[in-house]
Amino acid sequence: MSIQSLLHGIDQLSKSVGHAFAWCIVVLTVGTTYEVFVRYVLNDPTSWAFDMSFILYGGLFLMSGAYALSRGAHVRGDVFYRLMPPRVQGSLELVLYVIFFFPGVIALMYSGWSYGTESMRIGEVSVNSPVGVPIWQLKMIIPAAGAMLALQGIAEMLRCVVCIRTGAWPERLHDVEEMELSILKQAEEEARMNKIAALSGEAK
């Protein structure tokens, strides 16, 4: 298996998990809309809406981290970084992954496992509602999220190594992107085609 195939395989796993948990948004929207309706129209608020919202949002937030990392979507201060040559970028990122990223992710997995298994052992429920909504399953997601981040972090470190060796960042899987990026790419492609057409006209 080539490094590129390995990178795309890990990216695809992160994408699949991220897309699966994205459905939490639909359930969260429907549940919140129902809560607003019964609370303000029927004057009969639910006893589970608050717990539902933080469980679904928490699960979405945790399990989308690796997906966001695979797409380079995490916030970063790249005022100077973007001006650096690719090999310098790769070297800098590799060092930062070793010093900051992996210690934090390992701590997340270790502490999250203890936290989650203890919550599952006692069958922990929410204290925010009288119906006792179970919340141990959300806490068990914490070490799983850490494991996904660690796997994607390995892929990102491999990308850094490839970049240092070749001087160019390896290709990522295509996925949804910001509208302004699509417009910018379209404008760049149109400018390139216009330039080619103009050069062809001059040649004739």
Q: What is the pLDDT of residue 4?
A: 86
Q: Find, among 91, 23, 33, the residue nearest to 57 by Cα.
A: 23
Task: Tokens 């900051």: give the residue.
Answer: 100
Provide the domain count of the chain: 1
Tokens of 104: 């934090």
Task: Tell me the C-alpha distance between 60 and 187, whole Å.
Answer: 34
Question: Confidence class of residue 85 from pLDDT cuts 50, 70 and 90?
Answer: very high
Residue 200: inside a domain: no
Q: Is the pLDDT of residue 95 over 80?
A: yes
In a domain, 178, yes or no: no
What integer pLDDT is reported at residue 9 of this predicted model? 92
Whether the pLDDT of residue 147 is over 90: the answer is yes
Q: How far, in Å, CA of 92 to CA of 129, rounded?
A: 48
Higher pLDDT, 188 or 65: 65
pLDDT at res. 202 = 66
* pLDDT band per the 50, 70, 90 thresholds, residue 25: very high
Q: pLDDT digits over 38-59, tens only?
A: 999 999 888 888 888 989 999 9
Task: Tell me what the mean pLDDT of segment 21-28 comes to.
Answer: 93
How many DSSP H helices and E strands does the chain contain? Answer: 7, 0
Residue 57 in domain: yes
- Residue for token digits 């936290």? 115
pTM of the model: 0.80
Question: Looking at the domain assignment, is residue 35 inside a domain?
Answer: yes
| Predicted local distance difference test score (pLDDT) of residue 37 | 93
If you average pLDDT over residues 189-201, what whole number do you get? Answer: 80
Q: Is residue 189 part of a domain?
A: no
In-domain check, residue 96 = yes
**Direct distance between the N- and C-terminal alpha carbons of the chain, in angstroms, rounded to an integer:** 48
- Is 116 in contact with 142 (CB distance < 8 Å)? yes
Q: What pLDDT is attached to residue 203?
A: 61
Residues in Cβ contact with 164 at an 8 Å cutoff, skipping those fewer than 6 apart:
87, 90, 91, 94
The answer to whether position 141 is within a domain reads yes
Domain containing 72: what range? 3-173
Report the distance separating Cα 50 and Cα 131, nearest Å. Answer: 12
At residue 97, what is the residue type? Y
Looking at per-residue confidence, does 194 or 162 come out higher?
A: 162
Structure tokens at 122: 């006692």
136 assigned to some structural domain: yes
- Residue 180 pLDDT exceeds 80: no
Average pLDDT, the chain: 89
